[in-house]
Structure 1
């Protein structure tokens, strides 16, 4: 009985150790090969900005992906959280990049700089958070 149990145990143990694929060496390596960089921009508009002003900023931001090829994904929306914790931030813009280099190119791109000229006069507050997807 002991021999049967030991044989079964050894077979199970051997079966658990058949993987030949090497795991990524560290988290940074994994991020660079399988992840995307997210760039989150949250706006609070000035009380003096009209709905037309806000719509112009929304449209200008929405045009950036067609002007900056490094932007791999783009979406945006309005806050609708019932928690009332948005601290006046109403708009969320969510961009995706393949690398920090692509994000840095976006930040200094003439189209992004021009967008800042459109948005700047209407922005009361802005929060920007960048992170690597996990």
Structure 2
């Protein structure tokens, strides 16, 4: 009887260890990123109705100038919404800023050139949507 209890205890211990080990590997995999992954910082703007074409063009140019001013930006692209679905909710401009690390993003966000851009943008911005994600 004592052997059966020990065998049962041993069996449960191994099952629990295997389950914990698998769960820890899954958690660790979610917390780390592959070497070839990059961090995307997606910024989507909706401008105020009274924003002029000249003001919006100035914002497009100012945002596009940031990669030459902030070395942590590894890649940059932007475009205008042209979806036929009508689900944009008034958001018109989408910008992708790419970083190699969260540390690079942490330098970018409070960077004086980024702050100056935000100051220029704020008077004509109605709403903004930001989403960051790691690529696979």
Q: Which residue matches 2:45? A: 43
Q: How many residues were matched structurally?
A: 110
State the TM-score, normalized to the length of structure 1: 0.78
Q: Which residue matches 2:65? A: 63
How many Å separate the matches in 2 of 1:123 and 1:95?
19
Is the CA contact 1:32–1:99 (under 8 Å) kept in the aligned structure 2? no
Q: Which residue matches 1:11? A: none
Q: Which residue matches 2:77? A: 75
Q: 1:63-87 deviations in whole A, cap 9, x for unaligned?
A: 0000000000000000000001111
Gap runs ≥5 in structure 2: 1-27
How many Å separate the matches in 2 of 1:48 and 1:59?
19
Tell me the CA shift for residue 28 of structure 1.
Answer: 3.0
Return structure 1 stretches of 4+ with deviation > 3 angstroms.
Answer: none
Gap runs ≥5 in structure 1: 1-24
How many Å separate the matches in 2 of 1:129 and 1:26?
21
State the TM-score, normalized to the length of structure 2: 0.77
Q: 1:27-63 deviations in whole A, cap 9, x for unaligned?
A: 433x152210000000000011100000011110000
Does the alignment pair 1:28 with 2:16?
no
Q: 1:128 aligned to 109, 130, 133, which one? A: 130
How many Å separate the matches in 2 of 1:120 and 1:46?
10
Mapping for residues 6-21 of structure 1, pairs under 5 Å: none
